């Protein structure tokens, strides 16, 4: 019933007033997010950097030091030459299969979360700038439609929480603008690192709507729209969330 009451609250923020996710964190959690010595997600970053150097060929043998990935996370999800929409995890998996001749890590696997966290970390603090013109435009429209459509038994759209009620509290959490800039993120409720799609599935469950598979077109297009909403906002990955 609290979700139903939330949907009826007056407008608190417009889509034009989107703020970085870190601004919705408590001072303690924000400080911990910025301190690698106290951020458990850095264990995944360290493992990802080790994976970068491992194998024959390794990621490093093609791309050089992982620092060469600076700026990459600001441009994903992106449309490939063959018309596929890939997020950063998808790009890593495709590169692993096509260029390294290795089996995919698997979505939500510890290895893929680690590699994604390590690559995304190179763009930490840089502004999101996902291209949404050309072949990305149709995907963007799909993602926006998903964001704006009421769903589930509670009949809620994403924007009813993340636009209309951003900054308000729900079950001890402050509702953010729903950006994906901190993912993969270490969530205290998970006691682990997790992807944005894992979080989106949890949101779908929260409104009693269909949970789509990890890597589904529905969540990929929504991820693109969220990345577009976050344009100019800093990459926070690996984030730390409650």
Tokens of 230: 């976050």
Cα separation, 168 vs 21, in Å, equals 14
Nearest C-alpha neighbor of 130 from the set 72, 84, 83: 72
Question: Has 95 been annotated as catalytic?
Answer: no
Q: Which of 59, 158, 161, 203 is catalytic?
A: 203
DSSP conformation letters of the chain: -HHHHHHTSPP---GGG---GGGGS-HHHHHHHT-TTT-TTHHHHHHHHHHHH-SSS-HHHHH-SGGGGTTGGGG-SEE-TTS-EE-HHHHHHHHHHHHH------TT-HHHHHHHHHHHHTTBTPBB----STTHHHHHHHHHHHHHS-BTTTTB-HHHHHTTTTTSEETTEEP-----TT-SEEETTTTEEE-HHHHHHHHHHHTT---PPTT-HHHHHHHHHHHHHTBTSBB-PSEEE-
CA dihedral 89, 178, 140, 212 (to 10 degrees): 60
Q: Which residues are catalytic?
A: 203
């Amino acid at each position: 019933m609290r979700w139903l009451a939330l949907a009826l609250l007056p407008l608190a923020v417009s889509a034009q007033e989107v703020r970085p996710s870190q601004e919705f964190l408590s001072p303690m959690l924000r400080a911990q997010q910025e301190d690698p010595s106290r951020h458990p997600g850095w264990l995944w970053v360290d493992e990802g950097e080790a994976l970068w150097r491992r194998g024959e060929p390794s990621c490093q043998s093609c791309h050089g030091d992982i620092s060469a990935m600076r700026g990459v996370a600001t441009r994903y999800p992106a449309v490939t030459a063959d018309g596929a929409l890939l997020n950063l995890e998808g790009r890593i998996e495709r590169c692993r299969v096509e260029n390294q001749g290795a089996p995919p890590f698997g979505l939500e696997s510890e290895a893929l979360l680690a590699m994604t966290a390590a690559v995304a970390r190179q763009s930490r603090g840089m502004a999101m700038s996902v291209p949404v013109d050309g072949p990305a435009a149709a995907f963007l429209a799909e993602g926006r439609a998903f964001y704006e459509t009421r769903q589930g038994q509670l009949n809620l759209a994403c924007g009813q929480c993340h636009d209309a009620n951003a900054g308000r509290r729900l079950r001890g959490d402050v509702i953010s603008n729903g950006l994906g800039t901190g993912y993969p993120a270490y969530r205290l409720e998970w006691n682990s690192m997790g992807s944005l799609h894992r979080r989106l599935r949890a949101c779908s469950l929260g409104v009693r709507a269909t949970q789509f598979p990890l890597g589904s077109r529905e969540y990929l297009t929504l991820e693109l729209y969220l990345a577009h909403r976050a344009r100019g906002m800093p990459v926070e990955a690996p984030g730390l969330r409650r």
